[in-house]
Structure 1
Amino acid sequence: MRDESLGTTEQELEKVILVGCQLPTEDDDRFQYSLDELVSLTKTAKGKAIATVSQKRNTRHPATYIGKGKVEELITLAEELEPDVIIFNDELSPSQIRNLSNVLEARVIDRTQLILDIFAQRARSREGKLQVELAQLQYLLPRLIGKGLSLSRLGGGIGTRGPGETKLETDRRHIHRRIDDIKSQLVSIVKHRERYRERRKHNQSFQLALVGYTNAGKSTLFNRLTEADSFEENQLFATLDPMTRKCILPSGFTALLTDTVGFIQDLPTSLIAAFRSTLEEAKEADLILHIVDSSNPDYFNHEQTVYKLLDELEADKIPVLTVYNKSDEKHHDFVPSSVHQSILISAFNEDDLDSLKQVIQSLMMETMEEYKVYIPNSEGKLLSMLKSTSVLTELSFEEEKDSYLCKGYIQPTLSITQQLKNYMQ
C-alpha cells in the first residue's frame, strides 16, 4: 500500500506510539486537538501512529512524565506492538528521557525533538540547515550524559536526522565549538539578509508578509498571488526557508510578498530563537497577511498562537489582514473571529484572489497619501516612476496643458514625493 502524500510505502513508515498527559488547565477538546496534531507531525516525519496512551494528572510526573502505573501499561503495550519510536506530546527533561529510555526498548523522543526532526528534513537553504543544526545541538547538549542519551540506539529514523550520530558522540567541547561556529556563520548570513532588507527599504518597496499556522495554505496562496514555485504540500512545515517574490496589484502597483515558516502551538523557545531572523521578515512588513485555515476545527487557537508569536517578535503594531483560507472546505462551526479586517477565500478561486488583491490594495492606500498632479508631456521618466511607485487611480492626457493628469496614492517617505510637489496645482 502506498501513501501518496508521503511518497513512500506504508511498510517503510516507522511504527510510533504517542503519549500525552492532560493537565487540569487543558480541556478535553484542546487536548485531543494537540494529540491529533502530534499524529500529523508524526506522519510528516514519515511515521505511523499505531497507538496512543494518555493520562489525566494534576501535574506531570517529574521522573517519568506519566505516572508509574501508566509507565507499566506503556511497557506492556510496547512489548506487544514493538514500535520503533515512542513520542511524548511535551518537551521532556533530560532526566525524564533517561528514565524512560532505561525501561523502554524503543527510541524515546519528545514533541520538540520531533519538530526539530521535521525541520531537518525541510531545510533547503544554507541558513535553514544551520539554524536547524544549531537548535538541535542546543536541545541535545543538556541531554548528553557522557556518551549520552543511549546514542547506540540512534541508528537512523525519526528524531535522529540533522547533526548525526558521529557529531553527537563526541565530547561537549566539540559540540560547544560547533555551536560557536554555526553562530558565527549565521551572523554573517543575517547581516547579508539585513543588507538585502535595507536595500528593499531604500527602494521603498511596499512589503507584504504571509504568516499563519503551519499548513494553513500560505505557500499555495503565495504561488497564486505571485506565480512563483514555492513548495506546497498538505503537510506540516512544508515551507521552512522564506521566499520573496513580486505581487502585482490591480492598479499595476508591484509589492513584495514574503512567505514565512508556519507557526505551531508550543513551538520550542529554542526554535523561535533559531528562526528569529527568518521570522523577522514579518517584522519588516508594511502589511501582514495572516492566513487561517477555516476548515480546521481548532482555527481559533491557531489564530491566538500566531498573535502570541507576533507579539514576541514585536510585530504586533503592524497592520494585519486576516485571510480565512479554504472557504470551500470550511468547518461547519466556523465563524470569523479576527479582531482585524478579514476576508474569506479559497486560494484556488480566481475571483477570490482578485477580491483579496483589491482588499490588499485598499489597505495599502490607507497608509499612503493622496496626490493629484499634472506631469508635463516632456517628463516621461517621472511619469514612468509614478506608475511603478504609486497606486495610480487616474491617468488622462489634457491637450490644452500638454500634460498628464495623474491621481493616486503614494508612500509619503518616497523621494519622488518631493518632485511631485513641483507639479501640484
Structure 2
Amino acid sequence: MSLGVSASLQASSLQESSPELRDSVHDAARRARSASRALASLTTTAKDHALHAAADAVLAHVHQILAANAEDLDIAREAGTPAAMLDRLALNPQRVDGIAAGLRQVAGLPDPVGEVLRGRTLPNGLQLRQQRVPLGVVGIVYEGRPNVTVDAFGLTLKSGNAVLLRGSSSAARSNEALVFALRGALDAEGLPADAVQLLSSVDRSTVTHLIQARGLVDVVIPRGGAGLIDAVVRDALVPTIETGVGNCHVYVHSDANLDVAERILLNSKTRRPSVCNSAETLLVDQAIAATAVPRLLAALQDAGVTVHVDPSEEELRAEFLSMDIALAVVDGLDAAIDHVNEYGTGHTEAIVTTDLAAAQQFTEQVDAAAVMVNASTSFTDGEQFGFGAEIGISTQKLHARGPMGLPELTSTKWIVWGSPLTGHTRPV
C-alpha cells in the first residue's frame, strides 16, 4: 500500500487541473530558480554553517514536528495503513535527533562544487578545465518518510541546488513542520528561504505541473514504489532520474560455500525487507540444488520468510518489500546471468561463489547498478559506500547510476581561458 502518492498515480495518467494551481507550481519553480543562483556561488563554509543552523532549527522545533506527525499518524491509522508503512511515517525524539545529525553529517562531507575533473592547455594556448557545478532546481516526488524531506534539503543545499519537494498527503503535516523549520534557518542565515519549498499534496496534479515544468525545473527525482516512478517517468517533460525499484537476486553458484551463502541470503532478505536493496529472488545452481535448496529453504522459513517455490512470472518480477522471496533453480552460470538480466530491475545483484572466474563473468555480464561478490545486497547504500547521505539509488544509466551522493547532484561546465593580451580566434 502506498502512502498517498503512488496509488493515485497508478490508477490513471497524471492529469491537468486548474490554471491557478499550475501557476502556483511554476511560481514556486521561478522562486527556486532565483534561489539556486544565489546558492551556486556560496562558499563551502557558508553552506556548512547553514546546515548546522538547520539542524539546530529542527531540534528547536521538535515539539511542533512531533505534534504534526502525530496528526498524520492518526489519519493514517484511521485509513487502515499497514504497520510497516506506519513505521516509515512515524517520528519520535530519537528519529528527529537522527534527522538533525544527518544534516551535520552532510556538512562534514566534501563539497563537490568547483571540483576540477579534467583540464589542459591546448597547443594554441587556450586553457581548458571541466568543473562541477550545481544542477540548479531539483524536484523530488516521494512517499511517506518525513526524513526524506530533510535529507533532500541537506544534500541539495550542500551541492548548491534549490529543491522543490512534493511529498505524499499522508505526511503533509510532518513535512510542513519540517520545512517551516528549515526555511526559518535559511532566513536567519541571510540565505533565500525559497531554496527549499514544499508543494501542496492535496491535488495530485501538482506532480504533473512539477514534472512538466520544462525550463523551470532542471531534474526530477521520484522516490517510492514502482507505480510512482513509472508514472513520473511516463509523463515527465523534465529530465528524470529513476531511483529505487529493486528486484534484487542472490545467486548461489555451484562452487558456493553454503555457510557463506546462508549468511548472505538471510542478511540480504531479512535485514530490512521493506527497502529497495532487499533480495527478492534466490537463484540456486542446479548442480547443488539437491543439497542447497532444502538448507536455504529451511533457513529462510526459520527466519519467518515466505518462500515462493515454483514462482509465477509475476512473482519472479515482484518487488515484494516484505518477508517474501521467490526461489528458482537455474542450469548453470549462463542461465543465472540470463535470468537476472531478464527479471532484474538494474539495482543490485549478488553471486556467492569460490570460483573467481565465475564471479568475474557474473560481474561483467550482469546489467545492474551494483554487483556483489560474496556480499549482501544490503550494502548498496550511499553511507555504506562512503558517500555519506544519499538522495536515492539510480537504476538508470544517465546521468548517474547507483547510490547518488553529492557529486551526482552536480553537472559540469567547461571553462575556457584565452589570452588577455591577444585573445584567441579560431582560424577560418
TM-score by length of 2: 0.27
Larger CA Rg, structure 1 vs 2: 1
Structure with greater contact order relative to length (CA < 8 Å, sep ≥ 6): 2
TM-score by length of 1: 0.27
